[in-house]
Amino acid sequence: MAPIKEILLEEDDETELKVHFYPELHLQRRIWILDTLRRENITKVLDVGCGEGSLLSPLCQPAPWLPPPPSDRLPALSPSAHAGAPGSPLLSPTFNSVDGIQNLHVELIHGLDISPDDLAFAINTTQPPEPLPPSTYTVSLTRFEPLDVKLWEGGLETINEEFVGIECIVSTEVIEHLSPETLPYFVPILLGVYHPKFLLVTTPSYTFNARFTAPDAPPSVRKGYSDPTKRTDRIFRHSDHKFEWTREEFEAWVSETAKEWGYEATWTSIGRSLDKDPYGRDEELGGASFVVEFRKADHDQPLGDQAAGALTDSECERRGRELVSKLDHTNNDGVEKPSHKLAAHQHHPAHTSAQKPLPFPEIASIIKNKMDFYREFILRLSELWFEADVAIACGGWIEFLVRAVEESPELILRKEENGIKMGRDQWTVEIAGRAGGGSLSSRNLWLDTDVELEPNDGSFDHVPEDWTPDQGPLSLDDSTDLDESTGAEGDISLNNSEDEGEIHIWSGNSVHSTSDWEEPSIKGWGGGWGVTHGTESSDDEAKSTTKPPTAPNPGSKKVRHVASSSTAGWDGDEDESDDTTS
């Protein structure tokens, strides 16, 4: 009798292997993009193929506080300040310089998509939020930096003068959807005419597709889609994919593009399956999506051989416009292409208090009153900051909160405990005289009575009168679990590929291989983008089965389908088809 393992492997030859991603594949791509934007302090972004705004939405969220204030705005620590109190160093470091998740301070966002239906959702997603009614329990971020969002309807092959010189372009799961007529415009326009400092691109890895079947499985086992161009006999993850690159093909394209346009490129793959491959191919196949960062080579400062072909911005733009003109003449016989249509321009104003902090004594008074209100004599600094009136009093600079506490004779800022420095998220503010060595006092310090508290009681629980159970931003419904997850966007990270249609951008000069990741792809790039609307529960992000509103409607919600057991496709593009193998 054959061993059980051999029997199971023989059965795998007749079925697709199960593949699960956690986080969902489209989220892994988005995390890679956001991490790159944070690392490079990007403030101006163009999302090519923005779809419904899955990336634009987080980009529109305000940073919790402003970048560090200039030295002329934050005075030196007063000699009388008691920063030398137990557990607090003499000088406070700049709060933003301490390690932790770096904030994004985006000033301008452009979104481009060919689908008006998708743009209707993006408009809803990126519009300024309605002001919340006053509440003692609601936690909301105050915007201290203005933001402009412009959403455009049109195809990639048309030049938009507003995009020229943009700092960073993002293209996620787009390039593989482009028609043979549109694909040649991709690099000349994005890296040539627009010549950004950074171009971030993601696209499916055909090499990874082998992970869905056993090595000796017949082609019929793979539940994907035949190459619609008939150029190959490959099985793709999505019905609209015009190609999917192998590792070697992708690396060659990145290297050639970077060299031609004066960029350095670093690429890798992301999206490893949680399930171990029974055939031991995980390292060989890599991740489900390729990601590449093109960084414009410094023309003035030689960076080695990779920078030898660095081009100036004007050279890139001139070369790009020349190639686009030739393509237009070939494809359109000189007929002028339609210009991009501005679908929406949304302005998110900064709070009137931005960069207008109150004097330190007034800030300290607000802090103490807030602690008295909550009947707490110890609160974390971060808890105080997310009280809107505290942040507003500081003008959006959290360094002013730190300094106000250090300057106040009634407050103590603790950054160390037992001689060990704490992370800034652990810093606490105490009311002087109400705690001994960090322990809670047994005296009732809050009520105007002589009632004594129990030894272990230091403060009364305070439930605001306007609090309603299961309401508010802290009411979370986390339906995601490790084995089977459908993500907020309907992306499937179980045995199916994710459905998040997005499109990407590409270029490169030098090539370095690094880690593994992936991000959402774009939908609605039919016509000029060669994308047809169809749903897939695998490769492209699952799109709504209902038509989106024709006009922005803040109250509308998109209904997405949920899939839990498809073993095909993993592009993560968002789309309306029933495909499950893309």
- For residue 436, give Cα distances in angstroms to 12, 193, 378, 420, 458: 66, 65, 11, 18, 11
pLDDT at 125 over 70: yes
Lowest mean pLDDT among 231-235, 393-397, 578-582: 578-582
Q: Is the pLDDT of residue 557 over 50?
A: no
Rounded Cα distance between 267 and 373, Å, is: 53
What does the pLDDT read at residue 93? 54
Domain range summary for the chain, segments of one domain joined by + = 1-59+107-127+142-355+498-582, 375-440
The tokens describing 351, both together, are 């709070």
Q: Looking at residues 127-143, what average pLDDT do you find? A: 77
- Superfamily assignment of 1-59+107-127+142-355+498-582 in CATH? Vaccinia Virus protein VP39 (3.40.50.150)
Q: Encode pLDDT of 108-117 as tens digits.
A: 999 999 999 9
Q: Find tokens 């230091």 and name the residue.
A: 458
State the pLDDT confidence band at 421, using cuts at 50, 70 and 90. Answer: confident
Residue with tokens 């902090």: 357
| Residue 483: predicted pLDDT | 41
How far is residue 402's CA from residue 385's CA, in Å, rounded to a whole number?
10
Alpha-carbon distance 376 to 385, whole Å? 15
Is residue 405 predicted with pLDDT exceeding 70?
yes
Tens-place pLDDT, residues 297-315: 875 554 444 445 678 999 9
* pLDDT over 90 (residue 339): yes
Least confident of 146-155, 211-220, 311-320, 364-373: 211-220
Query: Averaging pLDDT over each range in 321-330, 497-506, 545-554, which range is the top one?
Result: 321-330
pLDDT for the residue numbered 336:
82
Q: What is the pLDDT of residues 220-236, one digit of tens each?
A: 888 888 888 888 889 88
pLDDT digits (tens, 9 = 90+) for 460-493: 444 555 555 555 444 444 444 444 333 333 333 3
Give the DSSP H or E segment for 290. strand 289-296
What is the arithmetic mean of pLDDT over 560-565? 34
Confidence tier at 131 by pLDDT (50, 70, 90): confident
Tokens of 509: 């000069």
Lowest mean per-residue pLDDT among 116-120, 403-407, 410-414, 494-498: 494-498
115 and 152 Cβ atoms separated by less than 8 Å: no
Q: Comparing 176-180, 385-389, 572-576, which segment has the lowest mean pLDDT?
A: 572-576
Mean pLDDT, rounded, of the chain? 76
pLDDT score, position 222: 84
First to last CA, the chain: 38
* CB 531, CB 102: distance < 8 Å: no
